[in-house]
Amino acid sequence: MIRSPRVAALVLAAGYSSRMGECNKLLCRIDGITLIQRAVGAACSSRACQVIVVTGHESERIEAELQGWPVSFIYNPDYSSGMASSLRRGLHALGSDAEAVIVLLADMPGIDGSTIDRMIDAFDPAQPFVLVPEYEGRRGNPILWPRRYFGDMAALSGDTGARGLLERYAQEVRSVAFDSPVILVDVDTPEALRQLAKK
Residues 16-25: tens digit of each pLDDT: 765 555 678 8
Q: Which domain holds residue 190?
A: 7-198
Amino acid at 90: G
pLDDT given at position 20: 55
Query: Tens of pLDDT along 55-70?
Result: 999 999 999 999 999 9
Query: Tens of pLDDT along 154-184?
Result: 998 887 778 889 999 999 999 999 999 999 9
Kindly state whether residue 2 falls inside one of the protein's structural domains: no
pLDDT for 2 beyond 70: no
Kindly state whether residue 126 falls inside one of the protein's structural domains: yes
| Measured distance CA(166)–CA(159) in Å, rounded | 15
Q: What is the dihedral of CA 183, 152, 85, 146, to 10 degrees?
A: 40
Kindly state whether residue 1 falls inside one of the protein's structural domains: no
Amino acid at 197: A
* Domain CATH for 96: 3.90.550.10
Query: Tens of pLDDT along 41-99?
Result: 999 999 999 999 999 999 999 999 999 999 999 999 999 898 999 999 999 999 899 99
Domain tally, the chain: 1
Kindly state whether residue 141 falls inside one of the protein's structural domains: yes
Kindly state whether residue 67 falls inside one of the protein's structural domains: yes
